[in-house]
Amino acid sequence: MIQDTLHLKAPGNWINDPNGFIFYKGQYHLFYQHFPFAPRWGTMHWGHATSPDLVHWQHQGVALFPTKDYDQNGVFSGSALEVDGRMQLYYSAVRYRQINPEDIHCAGQDDFVTSQAMMISPDGKEFDNWNAKRQIIPVLTDRVIGDAKHTRDPKVWKDGDRYYMVLGSTDGAQGRLLLYRSEDSFQWEYAGQCASAEFGWMLECPDLFRLDGQYFLIGSPMGIPSGPKYHELAMYAPVDFDPASCRLQLRGPMTCLDWGMDFYAPQTTLDQQGRRVLVAWMRMPQPVPASADGRGVWNGMMCLPRVLSEEKGQLYARPHPNLEKAYCRPVQLGDVDNTRPYRLRATLAEGEQLDIGGYRIWVEQGCLHTDRSRVFAGCQGYRLQAATPALEQPRCRLDIFVEPNLVEIFVDEGRFVLSSVVYGLEKYLEGTTIESMYAADPESPRDRSES
Ligand code: FRU
């Protein structure tokens, strides 16, 4: 089985959203949307990977795949919960009403219906796709509640004695968040909804959680223009939520979780220490060729796990502390060639710049800017430049993680993050304000202890 260090990548072919992210029985489990037959989106399966520390990942193969009438065309995104020692996986089940005759992995005329389903695994290892699934919320027929086609991505949690679920949906024109609750985690009742222009025309992959007493909603609204090819970005907002009534209201407009163009469909869980950790899918316009380690042609990866915190109503995202342990071997400028992962700390003031093998980072008019036009060859029509909102201080502090297909920039201790997919970084690194660099030590013994 393929192993990944640092970034979890497609084991070959296609992956998209993170699913079922959970710390369960001593290890982290991260499932993902997976099309195992080609490096493009198609009939969705759940691929499965495990990690002792969120740094070293072991791919475990396909866990969930279509077997039922209701999920025959796809096991879409969802989440995981531990109940009485079992691993319960909640997902959206897709059934096409028409098949595209030339491509059975896509619906004809985009005509499909969606219900919500679950799978019970006794141990996070065995996934009985024939006997351990059940449908829990049938296809919606009441348009007042939500859409028969576009209602999906159950995120489930427990609070007190009750279980809660959020789903993304639409009334056809505007996005909605649906709330369900349950006494036993199997029988679900509709409990309310929240509609907002902030949700675009449809809200994908919602996640609702509390951080230091404040609830936050994250989600991926569709149809909010952000660039020529990607019309969607992942957003968040502080919300008022009352679990007793299931009333939810946004406290303000939604804002970006990451200011690059590729970060989408994030999902959070609690780590072993109770920290709120987030991972997201990094969209890639082109597949990467097969490599010597046995990985076939692949498309899609996860960002580094990020720890969320709340500061003055804003979400900060910092690299998980276990990553700091992994990037531990100091290196010199001359040793860096951008073909192996490393971490770089630098500061930048107005007019200063860093050039990571053709990926440029600079500060202009009080904002951090990036340009990947020299390392994105052949990806036509995608946004090449990105920028953060206004920085707080004239000199910003950068903590940057570089690997051949992804650059993640943590700005001012996680106040902003900007990540970019890249192709073909050159072998140099230039910048006058680089302070230190650390290589990732993939060979280091797996460290189970947490900081
Ligand atoms: C988001 C999404 C989800 C859906 C899944 C299908 O990227 O569209 O809403 O469940 O991908 O792969």
Give residue-wise pLDDT tens across range 226-257.
655 556 899 999 999 999 999 999 999 999 99
Secondary structure letter of residue 339 according to DSSP: S
- The amino acid that residue 177 corresponds to is L
pTM over 0.85: yes
> Tell me, what's the pLDDT at 229?
54
Distances (CA, A) of 47 to 20, 33, 94, 289: 10, 6, 17, 20
Residues near ligand 1 with C-beta < 6 Å? 16-17, 33, 44, 76-77, 92, 152-153, 204-205, 264-265
- Measured in Å, residue 184 CA sits from the centre of ligand 1 at 27
CB atoms within 10 A of CB 132: 17
> Tell me, what's the pLDDT at 381?
86
The yes-or-no verdict on residue 38 having pLDDT over 70 is: yes
Rounded CA separation 272/450 (Å) = 8
The yes-or-no verdict on residue 406 having pLDDT over 70 is: yes
Q: Smallest Cα–Cα separation from 30: which of 268, 379, 207, 369?
A: 268
**What DSSP string runs through 282-320?**
E--SS-B---TTS--SEE-EEPPPEEEEEETTEEEEEE-
For residue range 122-140, list pLDDT tens digits in order.
999 999 999 999 999 999 9
> Tell me, what's the pLDDT at 231?
66
- Measured in Å, residue 186 CA sits from the centre of ligand 1 at 23
The yes-or-no verdict on residue 314 having pLDDT over 50 is: yes
Question: How many Cα atoms are found within 13 Å in the side-chain-facing hemisphere of 34?
Answer: 28
The yes-or-no verdict on residue 369 having pLDDT over 70 is: yes
Rounded CA separation 383/37 (Å) = 28
- The reply to whether 17 belongs to the active site is yes
- The amino acid that residue 285 corresponds to is P
Residue of 4, 17, 153, 371 marked catalytic:
17
The yes-or-no verdict on residue 376 having pLDDT over 50 is: yes
- Measured in Å, residue 357 CA sits from the centre of ligand 1 at 33
Rounded CA separation 141/147 (Å) = 8
Ligand 1: which of 15, 31, 32, 33 to mutate, judged by most atoms within 8 Å of the beta carbon? 33
Instruction: Name the pLDDT band for 441 (thresholds 50, 70, 90).
Output: confident
> Tell me, what's the pLDDT at 380?
86
For residue range 72-95, list pLDDT tens digits in order.
999 999 999 999 999 999 999 999
